[in-house]
Amino acid sequence: MAKIKSNRTSTRKDVIISKAAILFREKGYSATSMRDLAEHVGVEAASLYNHISSKAEILQEICFRVATKFMTHIEEVEQSKKTEIEKVEAILRFHIKQMVDSYEEVYVSDREWKHLTDPYLSNMQGQRRAYRQRIGKIIEDGVQKGEIKKIDPSTAVLIMLHAVSGIESWHRSKKKIEGELLEENMVEILVGGLQK
C-alpha cells in the first residue's frame, strides 16, 4: 500500500489538505468523495482516516487556515503607521498575492465555505462579515481624512473583493501576464480609483 509523501515543511495531513483543495476547486466540495481524494493522494481511502476524520474536517481546515491568514494580516495593517490609502493598498496586495500563490485554498475558502456546518458555518459567516467591515472602516477613515474620494465604503469593499475573486479567470487564461504585473495593474486601477 502506498504512503502519503510528506516533507520537512509539511505533514501528511497538510498533503491531504492541499490535494483536497485542488479537488474541491475542480469538482466542488459536494461532488468530491473520500474515494476521489484517496485516488488523488495515491492511497487507500482507509489510510486517509489515520490523518483526518472526515471530508468536513478538511473543509474546516482549509477555510479557517485561510481566514486566520487574512485576519492576522488585517490586524497588522490596522496597527501599522500607514495612511488609510496605504492600508487599503496593503490589504489589496495581500489579497492578490494569496489568490496568485495559494489559489486553491483561497478559492475553496471563498466559494465552498457555505458547506460548513454549525458551529463552523456561523463562525465563518461572522468572520467574513467582520473582515469586510474592518476594510470598510479603513476606507471610511480615509474618506474622513480626505485621502479617499467620497464613496460608500461597503460598495468599495464589494468591488475590491469581487475584483480579486476574478483572478480565477487569470488562472484559467492561456495568455496570462505575470503575477507581479497583474498585481500592479489591479492596484493602479482599484487603489488609484479611490485616491483623491
Confidence of residue 47 (pLDDT cuts 50, 70, 90): confident
pTM above 0.85, yes or no: yes
- Counting residues of the chain whose pLDDT is more than 70, the rounded percentage is 95
Residue 16: pLDDT band with limits 50, 70, 90: confident
Residue 69 pLDDT exceeds 60: yes
Judge whether residue 177 has pLDDT over 50: yes
Please name the residues in contact with 82: beta carbons below 8 A apart, sequence gap of 6 or more: 90
CB 196 within 8 A of CB 148: yes
At residue 195, φ and ψ (nearest 5 deg) are -65, 140
Q: What integer pLDDT is reported at residue 2 of this predicted model?
A: 52
How close are the terminal C-alpha atoms of the chain, in Å?
A: 63
Average pLDDT over residues 116-124: 96
> DSSP string spanning 11-65?
-HHHHHHHHHHHHHHHH-TTT--HHHHHHHHTS-HHHHTTT-S-HHHHHHHHHHH
Query: Is pLDDT at 134 greater than 70 in this prediction?
Result: yes
Phi/psi at 189 (5° precision) = -75, -50
CA 133, CA 153: separation in Å to the nearest integer? 9
Pairwise CA distance, residues 104 & 20, whole Å = 9
Confidence of residue 70 (pLDDT cuts 50, 70, 90): very high
